A and B are shown apart, each in its own frame.
Chain A
């Protein structure tokens, strides 16, 4: 398949940052707290280990086949039929996760901003914009990500700074009241989000300056971890143990801001923040899905499939859940394991097989031509 556009390493990391944080920033504090209790702010640290592992799997796959995405590499590693079967799993999984992201977006907007608007309008308009973005190529996605991520980080930092006056630092204690176990169990949800770092395996072939990729990817994991920790700490210090009882704790936190009698009702900022992040996230996943389908079918260009895949993902957004309770089950513990299997374990197996085959090949070469 021909290369269509190039991005820089920084652009890739900028695309991945909201791809992980956009959805996690709103719901992860309460999901983590359900298991980790008071130590929920420690969980992202444990989760980041999974992130690092995923980064290594992605980089390992790239090292084996530097110019191939995971879907192409699977054919090279496993052979034609098993490779295509491996790809088929992702053909079914990617619309599932993209649909879930789109649905989470729709649910959030409906419950917090536009309760009367039909869901298809909310999700449809966003997917349409993202589809146009994806059709324009990876360079456009990378550049638009650069703009929106700045907005995302700025708004998030702005909200957290304004909240400082309302925080109760004493609430950070006790640390580890029931040992470290709860925080490790609670790390399952952040870990599932961290496994989305496998995006690197899809995006890295388009990166032109790959010399510092290991260091920069680790830094990327670090930034995501710190952002999650800050979010969790702010929620904990503001709401204490009640964080777990809210669906969107960050939304509650933003609504709580009251400074000098006029800086209030800042929840619109959270919505702006969320939309700018989710735009990058949906675009990235839609791109990867369209690209994977095109590569899996052996097409020369991914552009023709963008609109159909976008439509399919929107339909999936309806299929996967009836209401908020179904969405919650899709980000619960078992669903987290499902995500981890898809985004970490299967790629890791692929990498393992690939590495062994490479080694065998090398040995054979060594035997035939000494």
Chain B
């Protein structure tokens, strides 16, 4: 009898124990932070006002303004007004980050930041500190696009573009569309730590606001490139130098070249390249290091204000020739800038030599700085006009003026 009672009791005890164990485990995740306790950062901006310390800004998604239908009844609900910008000072990034957290009632979550904007003032301090932090602190995503901005980064983040949900989204889309150099955090670190020891970043600019519009409503756009040598900012270049730079980097996609045929000084022919492909072939012969850059471009004519009919093959040939000359000039000036003026290997010459001549590369590793400016760069540009658009002969002029041959 007693044995049965004890067995029964022990069974009850076991059951109670296991039930209480389940209760402990069912309480949920240990580290849970509910979504309404999170401040989700869409983009971060780094500035260094007057070159002292760091001003870290975060563009934070503001759920109150975007969640569901607004109570006031306006069913329209503009895309703008869904982000807020908070910033904090610090002697370094990590410090600024912890101060930023103190200013907010929610846990700052950086894992969704899709863009990193480095203000020109902060870029001048060198990228090293930012890169280390972005690649060390576990929340940041290595795929975030990196930009340099002409205005303070904080202002870029503060923009509330009417076309996109946030300026972070606008920057991310621009990164995907390859309107400039498409560089992620990982790419940036790779190109600085790699044999080339340099980096090229797109530079953002806020256009002046249109009349009568809110000054925060403009979309930042990419204008020019910022050049870095070993994480240190060296200079900013704009078109046409930046175009040449992008061609050499194999990053150019959306551009129009206009050429002026000499026999008709009034009009221009505009060509929109469909593909531009650059290959670099290294060569070491008799101790002479050289690089053969081969640019292959194909494009369509999108505008013709000359009197050429474009039906005759020799006319197209002439235009091709002019286009080729134009591209060669642009690319050559970019090469000269990199090799002669800045003496920085933006185009990855070093990586090419390492790939194809590992022995010579390793033997001359210490002398690379002096070898690089003296590498002979042979440039060959091949262009091909594929189509002339919907029209063949020029439109808007009487037939008699058109030159058919």
Contacts and interface: CB of A to CB of B under 8 A. Distances in A.
Interface of A: 111-112, 114-118, 121, 170, 173-174, 176-178, 238-242, 245-246, 252, 255-258, 264-265
A215 to B, nearest CB: 39
Given A114-B31, A116-B30, A116-B31, A240 B138 contact: no
Contacts of A116: 30-31
A239 B138 contact: no
A117 B111 CA distance: 19
Interface residues of B, number: 23
Contacts of B135: 245-246
A255 B112 CA distance: 11
A177 B30 contact: no
Interface stretch (B1-9, B115-123, B186-194): B186-194
Contacts of B362: 177-178
Contact of A174 (B29, B111, B138, B356): B356
B186 A256 contact: yes
Contact of B111 (A121, A240, A258, A265): A265
A320 B394 CA distance: 81
A352 to B, nearest CB: 42
B138 A115 contact: yes
Contacts of A245: 135, 193
Interface string B81-120: 0000000000000000000000000000001100000000
B143 interface: yes
Given A121-B30, A177-B362, A242 B138 contact: no
Nearest to B29: A114
A252 B187 CA distance: 13
B378 to A, nearest CB: 20
Contacts of A170: 355
A114 B29 CA distance: 9
A229 to B, nearest CB: 20
B28 to A, nearest CB: 12
Q: Which of B112, B138, B184 has the most CB of A within 10 A?
A: B138
Given A116-B31, A117-B31, A242-B189, A252 B142 contact: yes
Contacts of A115: 31, 138
A258 B186 CA distance: 13
A252 B184 CA distance: 13
A242 B31 contact: no
Given A114-B30, A174-B355, A242 B186 contact: yes
A111 B194 CA distance: 27
Contacts of B194: 240-241
Nearest to A125: B25
B354 interface: yes
Interface in B335-381: 354-356, 358-359, 361-362
B111 A177 contact: no
A238 B135 CA distance: 15
Contact of B356 (A173, A246, A264): A173
Given A117-B30, A174-B354, A174-B356, A239 B190 contact: yes
Contacts of B356: 173-174
B172 to A, nearest CB: 8
A265 B141 CA distance: 8
B193 A241 contact: yes
Contact of A111 (B138, B189, B354, B359): B138
A174 B189 CA distance: 20
A173 B354 CA distance: 8
Contacts of A114: 29-31
Contacts of A257: 143
Given A242-B186, A255-B143, A256-B186, A112 B138 contact: yes
Contacts of A112: 138
Contacts of A265: 111-112, 141
A121 B184 CA distance: 36
A255 to B, nearest CB: 6
Nearest to B191: A240
Contacts of B112: 265
B376 to A, nearest CB: 22
Nearest to A176: B358
Given A112-B138, A115-B31, A173-B356, A256 B143 contact: yes
Contacts of B193: 241-242, 245
A118 B143 CA distance: 30
Contacts of B358: 174, 176-178
Interface in B222-261: none
A236 to B, nearest CB: 12
Given A177-B358, A242-B186, A256-B184, 6 more contacts: A117-B31, A239-B190, A240-B194, A241-B193, A256-B186, A258-B143
A254 to B, nearest CB: 10
A242 B30 CA distance: 34
